[in-house]
Amino acid sequence: MTKVACIGECMIELKQAAGGLYSRGYGGDTLNTAVYLARLGVDVDYITALGDDPLSDEMLAGWAAEGVGTKHVLRLPGKLPGLYMIQTDQKGERRFFHWRESSAARSLMDLAETGDILNSLGNYDLVYLSAITLSLYNESGRRRLIAALMRAREGGARFAFDTNFRVRGWPDLDIARAAYREAFEAADIVLASTEDLLALYSGESTDGLMARISSAEAVLKLSEPASIVRFEGVSHEVKAEPVVNTVVDTTAAGDSFAAAYLAARLRGANPLEAARAGHRLAGVVVCHPGAIIPRSAMPANVISNPSAPRRASL
């Protein structure tokens, strides 16, 4: 069976509830993608570090209940998960506030077990991480991770990179641009958005943004409900189906798009079909509050004519 590894950080999530109160859950961009991949039938492991506290215990139990593998989750005594709060406006657009400077996940590239974790990447068919993942580590940690990904690719694994950008995660934009350039050069698939990339390359055209992505396969989600998909040297526009319900929270729209896109590609769908699947799932996710929608809300037809997962020519 096709196996996927997602690398990153999961945090405690506080989201708005009635009466000025907040409800508690958990989320993080790559963890959200891992959960949606598992719900779409993909065998997926999550790679991160957590503390030895009850909240970390709760996270692990929740991931296992979703079918996400946890054998590569390290537990660090005395550490805690990070925390973030979501505020949404009347259009469902979100604003994040983070408390994560000393979270356990930030230590993942600097532990005695790190070498074993990185060597394990060669056992997967696909490794997925985001720019937020890269922002957790210092330059040495990022280079160590990219080098491990390159070794895994030499053994047949594929690397998918999501451009998810949070400006507060980076010391300055030049460091972020350098990290993105290295990831673009290493990746087989890049999942990008104009929202992310224009924050780094202000004023750039859509064609200019696509030209900065050196991977053979790239998806650029646009500000309107559509994306540009490039593969085999040709770019195509894919329009999203209209969202019929009220948009209440755009949190995890990109994460769910990534999950459906990658799940479709792993089932043998071409990139255009995969982009349609991504838009389809994201269009449902934005109609629910929080990062992870209820299982009962998962649409049955995310991937058209799904077959048993198999290794695709990514």
Active site residues: 255
**What does the alpha-carbon distance between residue 293 and residue 32 come to, in Å, rounded to a whole number?**
10
Closest CA to 308 of 104, 106, 41, 48: 41
Sequence-separated (6 or more) residues with CB below 8 Å from residue 287: 243, 245, 246, 247, 248
The amino acid occupying position 170 is W
Six token digits for residue 220: 């650029």
Three-class HEC string of the chain: CCEEEEECCCEEEEEECHHHCEEEEEECHHHHHHHHHHHCCCEEEEEEEEECCHHHHHHHHHHHHCCCECCCEEEECCCCCCEEEEEECCCCCEEEEEECCCCHHHHHHHCCCHHHHHHHHHHCCEEEEEHHHHHCCCHHHHHHHHHHHHHHHHCCCEEEEECCCCHHHCCCHHHHHHHHHHHHHHCCEEEEEHHHHHHHCCCCCHHHHHHHCCCCEEEEECCCCEEEEEECCEEEEEECCCCCCCCCCCCCHHHHHHHHHHHHHHCCCCHHHHHHHHHHHHHHHCCCCCCCCCHHHCCCCCCCCCCCCCCCCC
Q: What is the residue whose two structure tokens read 């030499």?
A: 154
